[in-house]
Chain A
Amino acid sequence: MSETLVRFEGVRKTYGAGGPAAVQSLDLDIARGELLTLLGPSGSGKTTTLMLLAGFELPSAGRIMLDGRDIARLPPHRRGIGVVFQSYALFPHMSVAENVAFPLAVRGVSKHDQARRVAKALDTVRLQGLGDRRPAQLSGGQQQRVALARALVFEPPIVLLDEPLGALDKALREEMQLEIRHIHQRLGVTMLYVTHDQAEALTLSDRIAVFEGGRVRQLADPRRLYDRPADAFVAGFVGENNLLPGVVESREELDLRVRLDCGPVVDAQAVDCGGAGERCLVAIRPERVAVAGVTAAELGEGALPAVLTEAIFQGDHVRLRLALGDGGAILAKRPAGMSALPEPGGPAAVAWPEGAAFAFRPPA
């Protein structure tokens, strides 16, 4: 891991006396040059964490180190951190160029240098030639680019982005995700990105911190987060997952046999799970679930009998909903255009490769 730029040390934030903590004892390092995403549902503490670093909230306890200096009590305008807001927060009475020049003007940069750096920043976000427009004359995506240019132009050590694409439509959002990723790679600037959209987090990030209930549940790179979630919350929040409740029948090291509540007994890898007799959740990604319109015996050893209840065509893939055992349900995904589907209501079988099922402690 490279050099640490920002370090949260035991940071805690409570609103009002005795209220619940928005952020509970946070320890988090941001490495210089990385794009770290804080991912979580609303109210999980991710935005509060960003606001604490920006200086718009003061921590109730703990230290926030930037380049080895505790900035937790410094007012926001003395921190020198760039921020991009969800609502863009452009200054409507200024032109695009004046907006981008504002951080430079505040710092007393000469007019000549301002013009040069503004042109460069607008170039970076591919808005060259639009400097004379007013923000209101730009589209939402262009406005967000201006906001990004304004946060980058004074070359801050870190840029914070608070759900910056939340107000854009899907196609534009995906384009901007890649654009932000490319700008990050090109400039090498450290970025802290907040979103509730797990697909966005997977697309963008070097590392992702999954927040829930004011805590970091898991901090990992996107691949690992998806393939090896640390607990049932992460397994359910990042990507789609089947979470089947059951009871551990036997355990040998990490190899479990679990009797699902709906009947079948399956193998699973223990991740965060007790021994025999303990309740657990078995997680299986829908895309790992193979479905065949045959009986379980024909699909091979370990296949489970199921009944296809619904097939939803989604263009590039088909989502299959199947009834499993006694009152259980499982979701499978497979690319469209593959072999013929079983008839809804007809007999089917499901199976998954060895090592595709993980077991977690159920959330309290």
Chain B
Amino acid sequence: MGRGVLWAAGLLVAAFLLAPILAILPLSFSAGSFLFYPLPGLSLRWYRDFFGSDFWLPALWNSLLIGGAAAGLATLLGVPAAFGLWRLRGAARAVVLGVVLAPMVVPVIVVAVALLLAFGPIGLVATHAGMIVAHAALGVPFVVVTVLASLEGFDAVQLRAAAACGAGPVRAFFRVCLPQIFPGVAAGAVFAFATSLDEVVVALFIAGPAQRTLPRQMFAGLNDSISLTTAAAAAMLVAFSVVLLLVVGWLQGRARR
């Protein structure tokens, strides 16, 4: 009886979380032209439209390019930051951690406005570099958090052991520490990529027509004309997210071994 109630409540919550996603996915396979059920028939026409369109395809490439570069940059910045934080103790650690994690807590709209004001004078608005830097800033906290978590399982004495073997700090990091925290680093990079992939607010503010990402284009697509290609784009984003989630799960499984 008690278990039954728990199961029912659990399924309801799962339905609440998944229903909007599950509702949009079948529409992308509709043979008709409108956002409604029942589907008049099944077809791949909206996917054909998506991959044949110079409205959507550049946005997909932008998303992949900006997301990949931003994830790479966030990882390059986040891993050393996490390593430094791990070695810090006391009040300094709390303060620095607060600063590093700020982009995760501050409302994105505030970050977007600040970036627009800051990027304007230095010519980074409406450039790929600007978008990459902005999304990297949003991704760094995810890298720091996952890398810090995997450093908790790393024995600091090993760095001393590496030094006693004659390895300098840089070599000790790359040969001894990094291989062991690599699953955490990769998971952080995936999170940073995912953050960039579904980010729309900053993109609205600082992306020019040439930098429009997939979510940004969906936003535009919904405003201009409601085409079911938007549903196909949404399905693509969902598919990406599921793949990334699986990758993170796989990495974490590896880390536990």
Contacts and interface: CB of A to CB of B under 8 A. Distances in A.
B157 A150 contact: no
A91 interface: yes
Interface in B122-178: 155, 157-158, 160-169, 171-172, 175-176
Interface string A91-128: 11100000000110011000000000000000000000
A163 B228 CA distance: 70
Nearest to B175: A102
Given A87-B155, A91-B162, 4 more contacts: A77-B162, A77-B166, A85-B160, A91-B180
A261 to B, nearest CB: 48
Contact of B155 (A80, A89, A93): A89
A102 B165 contact: yes
Most buried by B among A54, A87, A102: A102
A102 B161 CA distance: 10
Most buried by A among B155, B163, B169: B163
A93 B167 contact: no
Given A91-B176, A102-B167, A106-B171, A76 B161 contact: no
Contacts of B165: 77, 102-103, 106, 150, 154
Interface residues of A, number: 25
B179 interface: yes
Contact of B160 (A56, A80, A93, A103): A56
Contacts of A81: 164
B157 to A, nearest CB: 4
A85 B161 contact: yes
Most buried by A among B165, B167, B172: B165
Contacts of B180: 91-93
Interface in A50-101: 54-56, 75-77, 80-83, 85, 87, 89-93
Contacts of A107: 166
Contacts of B179: 93
Which 9 pairs between the two chains have the least Cβ-Cβ distance?
A89-B161, A83-B164, A103-B165, A76-B163, A106-B166, A89-B157, A77-B163, A93-B179, A106-B167
5 contacts: A54-B160, A77-B167, A89-B160, A102-B165, A102-B175
A92 B175 CA distance: 12
A147 B161 CA distance: 9
Contacts of B168: 75, 77
The interface residues of chain B, by DSSP majority, are classed as helix
B163 A82 contact: no
Interface of A: 54-56, 75-77, 80-83, 85, 87, 89-93, 102-103, 106-107, 147, 150-151, 154
A75 B168 CA distance: 9
A87 B158 CA distance: 9
A75 B166 CA distance: 10
A76 B171 contact: no
Contact of A85 (B157, B175, B176): B157
A199 to B, nearest CB: 26
Interface in B169-196: 169, 171-172, 175-176, 179-180
B107 to A, nearest CB: 41
Contacts of B176: 91
A56 B162 CA distance: 12
Contacts of A56: 160, 163
Contact of A54 (B164, B166, B172): B164
Contacts of B162: 77, 91, 102
A75 B160 CA distance: 11
Contact of A83 (B161, B172, B175): B161
A82 B155 contact: no
B164 A82 contact: yes
